[in-house]
Amino acid sequence: MKLTNFKITKAILAALAIFFVSGVDANATLIYSNNFEDTVGSEWSVNTTSVTPIGNRHFLGDFSNDSTTLTLSGLSAGLATVSFDVYFIRSWDGDNQAFGPDYFNVAINNSQLLHQSFSNGDLSMQPNASQAAERYTLGYSYYNGLPGYNVTYSNMDSVYHFVLTLPSLSNLMAITFSGKGLQDNYVTGLDGSSYLDESWGLDNVIVDVAPVPEPSGLLMLFTGGAILLILCWRKPFNSARFYLNI
C-alpha cells in the first residue's frame, strides 16, 4: 500500500507528539484506580454498582440525569490526568431535537470540562459516533413499543474512553460526572422487566499526577501539545479516545 505524503507527515507528527508528551508523564504518580469489581468506597458520592448482561462487567451506576462525584485529597501540584470509560446505555438520541439532545458532562472542582451529546440509535445525530471504543457489546437492548412507532427490540449500548489532562493546583480534586436531557422514565421490556430509558455508567477510572516539569520538560509538553493541536485542528476527536487538555 502506498502512503501519501500527507499520511506520512501525519504519522511522523503523531510519533513526535507521543515522544514529547510521554517524556513529561514518565514520572506520574498513581492517585486513584477503580474498576468497580469490588466494594466501592465513600470517595464516591453515589456508589451503586451494576453488572452488564454480556461480559459481567461491574461498573458504577447506572445513572440518568443525576450525578456522582469522586472526591480525592492529598494531591500534589503538577499535571493531573483523569481517564475513564463511560457506558452509554439504551436509547441515547444524540443531537436529536425531538427526543434529545442527550448530554454527558464532566466537571472538575466545579469547572465544566466536558459537555457532549451521544447516540446509540441514529448515529447521524452524533458528530463523533465513529469514535466509540465499543458498540453493542454490553448486552443492553431497547424495546420501543410507543404508539405510532414500529415496535423494535434493538441492541443499544456503547463504550467511550476519555482522557482529561489539566493542572493540579490544589490538594483536593472533586470530579463530577452527570447526565443531562435524558429520558429518565422507566420502560417495560418484552420480558416484563423495567429499566431506565436512557442511562450511563462509569468504569476503569484512573487518576494520576505528574510533577511540575522543569523548564526543559515544559518545552517538551508545549511542543507535544502543539503537535497534537495541529493533528486535531480539523477533527478534534479522531480516535476511539476523547482527549481534552486544559
Q: Is the pLDDT of residue 84 over 50?
A: yes
Q: What is the pLDDT of residue 127?
A: 61
Average pLDDT, the chain: 76
Q: Which three cell numbers stand for residue 54?
A: 454480556
15 pairs with which residues across the strands?
A: none
Task: Write out pLDDT tens, residues 45-83.
Answer: 999 999 999 999 999 999 999 999 999 999 988 999 999
**pLDDT average, residue stretch 221-246:** 46
Exposure b/e, 97-133, CB count within 10 A at least 16 = b: eebbbbbbebbbeeeebbebbbbbbebebbbbbebbb
CA distances to 43, 108, 114 from 176, in Å: 12, 6, 10
Average pLDDT over residues 162-170: 89
| 242 has pLDDT over 50 | yes
Cβ neighbours of 7 (radius 10 Å):
11
Q: What is the 3-state secondary structure (H, E, C) of 58-88?
A: EEEEEECCCEEEEEEECCCCEEEEEEEEEEE
28-32, 140-144, 179-183, 193-197: which has the highest mean pLDDT? 28-32
pLDDT of residue 177: 99
Contact status, residue 136 vs residue 155, Cβ threshold 8 Å: yes
C-alpha–C-alpha distance, residues 240 and 142, integer Å: 24
Alpha carbons 88 and 134: distance in angstroms, whole number = 10
183 pLDDT above the threshold of 50: yes
User: What's domain 28-212+239-245's superfamily in CATH?
Assistant: Galactose-binding domain-like (2.60.120.260)
Give kind and range of the element (H or E) at residue 105: strand 103-108
Instruction: Report how far residue 131's alpha carbon sits from residue 238's, in angstroms, rounded to the nearest whole number.
Output: 7
**Largest pairwise CA distance in the chain:** 64
Q: How far apart are CA 41 and CA 57, in angstroms?
A: 18
Residue 229 pLDDT:
44
* Helix/strand number for the chain, H first, E second: 2, 16
Contact between residue 140 and residue 61 where contact means Cβ atoms under 8 Å apart: no
Q: Which residue has the higher pLDDT, 147 or 240?
A: 147
Predicted pLDDT of residue 154:
73
Round to whole Å and give the CA distance between 176 and 189: 31
Residue 27 is predicted with a pLDDT of: 81
pLDDT at 89 over 70: yes
Phi and psi torsions of 136, nearest 5°: 60, 45
Question: How many beta carbons lie within 10 A of that of residue 26, not counting itself?
Answer: 8
More confident residue, 120 or 229: 120
